[in-house]
Chains A and B, each alone.
Chain A
Amino acid sequence: MSYCLYCGENTTPLTSWTSLFLPSSPSLCSECVASLERITGNVCPTCSRPQTSATVCEDCLRWENSSQWSGLLEQNYSLYMYNEKMKDVIARWKYRGDAVIGYGFHQPVVSVYNKYFNGYVPVPIPLSKERAEERGFNQSEMLASFLQRARPPSPSIEHALIRSIHEDKQSKKSRQERIHSVIQPFQFNKKSSIKGKNIVLLDDIYTTGTTLRKAADILKKHGAKKICSITLIRG
């Protein structure tokens, strides 16, 4: 018998193949899966924002009209809406530190990668050292590790980014402040090699897209070819 990672109810795993590499094939129960909202229908092709038509949204147009930011992030693919259930799940995963909850997203993330970004090099968005110490794990790193452990595996994860500046508590700033804050929190990790490679960034949430574009900026400057991202949630 196996138990739902989130609510602890008994569950029959939806996919049995996960058991090939995860000892207890942890997953979410069908009720929990059903209360998470997958993004479907028309979305902005650049940032995955759900909308009435499948055209590039205004925010993305603004990014692309700016000489500083244009062309950095080719495409973001988000899997889920940020509904109440997802807020609870994220709170327990990220903030309470219940790391194994992340395994519930293993299979969906791998299939998105295989379908849209096959062969891209996974690069997780890092945490600062202080934040990593505090949390004990990095949710983006965990998402990236799924790709590498998939069958067939993705190319090796490149830890191409270092976060030297302690993240601000994002919520305290207004949206405008966040977008226009010019501080570059990332540095390039000289030990990694990304030259001429297609990159897929991994993060838990796409809110304004600023963090991902700042990361992409560094990678572009160090020779990355195409840069896309998979984010679990479109905030």
Chain B
Amino acid sequence: MNYCHVRLKSDVRCLPEALVENDADILAGPDVISRLPALPTPSHVIPSVSIPFYDDVQATLFGKELLYEEMEYSWGILKPFLETGLITLKSGLLPYKKGFCCQRCHTTSKKSFGCFDCFRCHKKCVYCRHCIMMGRISTCSVLLRWNGPAPKYHYNDILLKWDGTFSNGQQKAASKIIETILEQADILVWAVCGAGKTEILFSGLEQALRIGQRVLITTPRTDVVLELLPRLRKVLPTTSIAGLYGDSEEKHNPAQLIIATTHQTMRFTSTFDTVIIDEVDAFPYTADHSLTQAVTKAKKQQAATIHLTATPTPLLKKRVNANRLPCVRIPQRYHGFPLPVPRFQWIGSWQTRIENRSLPASCNKWSQEHIEQNIPAFLFVPSVAVLEKVTDLLKEQWPAVEGVHSGDQERLQKVNQFRKGSIPLLVTTTILERGVTIPGVDVAVLGAESAIFTESALVQIAGRAGRSKEQPGADVVYFHFGKTNGMVAAKRHITTMNRESNQKG
């Protein structure tokens, strides 16, 4: 499909070739969309006549930029929207310096683009591999953008159903969050693992939603979306809430509160008044510059940004130290008990031992004690290859042991079985380093010296332990073959937070 710039009365519109009625109106094209010059976005359009499917199309497209392939409507139905300027078209990829820039994920890195002989444009077509999981976007793809009024929400009856109590630290952070939302400013909420950081959002969310704001909570992990969704639906029963992640069915639900993986965030454009970035430092957010841009793209020019994490990145810390980003710290867990401090256990060349099909003695003993005493235990390992070997070795002794990694299709089931107690010990890669809460769990890291176990990863892993009020103490052990800076820094991080918490409390 090729596209044209067409003069309609006093306006210039971009239309697919098939919708052009009069060739004499054509100002440019027909051509592949990326070769047409960009048109200025028309000022906001208010429809003067009723258009079939108006509400549905608005609900699908408002606040987002979607590929034509993602729309459930044909060009025929979309025609009046395009002619009136309610929907505008733009190219999916645009030339940028010597390469391209993906208009959805904003990637410009050369290795993210592929080239193929395209049946649609009959040319060599360049496409973005970086966001391919959301459907291929190429030099002949069009993005549709809503340029009409926002859908109306019933936000007069927003209701917060929560009557928990706050610790001092939580109270302070909650008030700061409300201030930030009202002032449309930025803030870093630095809360230790288990500080109850979801709860401190509640009153802020209520305020924002009540004044009609659209709010985005974005997190790198699907697991976190799945955990937050039911909790927020329970405490905000009258709010329209949608959860967007890989397989979710709610992609086109124009809810007032959106909980999305960072990838799904890429579909949105200048639409949110408040953005909460949960676990700001977590993979892939910092690993991936384009996701930072996705968040920037998703929020309005005037918007509040709340960074929520236990382990801020050096960049965030730098901004805080330079007084460019306000910060509120919660050094204490909601139950008031200190964070379990990790202990180090040297185990020698564990990799050689695993190759010879045995586990380091102290690690095996740790596993045995936990399984025999019915204490749930996480064993973190540095890679999928190690995971498979270690799981096999443990299974030989205790068949109920299981392993999970990011590519594991049964990941969610296994975590649930672990929660219920039918899996006594779960071997895992860093995929479960945050978000998952199991009462009374002890935690070990095998090969804590591996590069993947950074300070922040080790702090997060230690943070899995001792989260419940009933069992605040826990054993956290880093099995290692040589102490690293990361391990030492993680331990220091935890003891510093405990000291600060003592002084305040």
Partner-B contacts on A (CB < 8 A)? 3, 92, 96-100, 132-133, 135-138, 141-142, 145
CB of A100 within 8 A of CB of B119, answer: no
Shortest B481–chain A CB gap in Å is 23
Residues of chain A lying within 8 A (CB to CB) of residue B138: 136
CB-nearest residue of chain A to B130: A8
Given contacts A135-B119, A136-B138, contact A100 B111 (CB under 8 A): no
Q: Mind listing 18 A-B residue pairs with CB under 8 Å?
A: A96-B135, A96-B136, A97-B136, A98-B114, A98-B129, A99-B114, A99-B116, A99-B127, A100-B129, A132-B119, A133-B119, A136-B116, A136-B125, A136-B138, A137-B116, A137-B119, A141-B117, A145-B117
Confirm or deny: B118 has a beta carbon within 8 angstroms of a beta carbon on chain A. Answer: yes
Residues of chain B lying within 8 A (CB to CB) of residue A138: 119
Residues of chain B lying within 8 A (CB to CB) of residue A135: 119
Residues of chain A lying within 8 A (CB to CB) of residue B127: 97, 99
Confirm or deny: B361 has a beta carbon within 8 angstroms of a beta carbon on chain A. Answer: no
Given contacts A99-B127, A100-B129, contact A136 B114 (CB under 8 A): no
For the complex, give the distance between the alpha carbons of A135 and B116 in Å: 12
Out of A92, A137, A142, A145, name the residue touching B132 (CB < 8 Å): A92
Confirm or deny: B39 has a beta carbon within 8 angstroms of a beta carbon on chain A. Answer: no
For the complex, give the distance between the alpha carbons of A145 and B114 in Å: 17
Shortest B505–chain A CB gap in Å is 46
Q: A97-B127, A97-B135, A132-B119 are in contact. List 5 more A-B contacts (CB 8 A).
A: A92-B132, A97-B132, A100-B114, A137-B119, A142-B116
Out of B111, B120, B132, B133, name the residue touching A133 (CB < 8 Å): B120
Partner-A contacts on B (CB < 8 A)? 111, 114-120, 125, 127, 129, 132-133, 135-136, 138
Main secondary structure of the interface of B (DSSP, over half): mixed
Residues of chain A lying within 8 A (CB to CB) of residue B125: 136
CB-nearest residue of chain B to A132: B119
For the complex, give the distance between the alpha carbons of A133 and B68 in Å: 13
For the complex, give the distance between the alpha carbons of A99 and B115 in Å: 8
Shortest A96–chain B CB gap in Å is 5
CB-nearest residue of chain B to A23: B115
CB of A96 within 8 A of CB of B133, answer: yes
For the complex, give the distance between the alpha carbons of A96 and B137 in Å: 10
Residues of chain A lying within 8 A (CB to CB) of residue B115: 100
CB-nearest residue of chain A to B113: A100
Given contacts A136-B125, A138-B119, contact A96 B111 (CB under 8 A): no
Given contacts A3-B111, A99-B127, contact A137 B117 (CB under 8 A): yes
Shortest A178–chain B CB gap in Å is 26
CB-nearest residue of chain B to A127: B119
For the complex, give the distance between the alpha carbons of A48 and B119 in Å: 32
Going nearest first, the 6 A-B pairs with the smallest beta carbon separation are A99-B116, A100-B114, A97-B136, A132-B119, A98-B132, A137-B116
Residues of chain B lying within 8 A (CB to CB) of residue A136: 116, 118-120, 125, 136, 138
For the complex, give the distance between the alpha carbons of A96 and B117 in Å: 16
For the complex, give the distance between the alpha carbons of A15 and B406 in Å: 30
Shortest B3–chain A CB gap in Å is 16
Given contacts A3-B111, A136-B125, contact A96 B116 (CB under 8 A): no
For the complex, give the distance between the alpha carbons of A186 and B210 in Å: 61
Shortest A111–chain B CB gap in Å is 23
Shortest B403–chain A CB gap in Å is 16
CB of B135 within 8 A of CB of A100, answer: no
For the complex, give the distance between the alpha carbons of A137 and B118 in Å: 6
For the complex, give the distance between the alpha carbons of A211 and B132 in Å: 29
Shortest B170–chain A CB gap in Å is 40
Residues of chain B lying within 8 A (CB to CB) of residue A92: 132
For the complex, give the distance between the alpha carbons of A98 and B112 in Å: 11
Out of A3, A98, A132, A133, name the residue touching B136 (CB < 8 Å): A98
Shortest B487–chain A CB gap in Å is 25
CB-nearest residue of chain B to A31: B385
Shortest B134–chain A CB gap in Å is 9
For the complex, give the distance between the alpha carbons of A151 and B175 in Å: 70
Shortest B401–chain A CB gap in Å is 22
CB-nearest residue of chain A to B115: A100
Given contacts A92-B132, A136-B125, A136-B136, contact A100 B120 (CB under 8 A): no
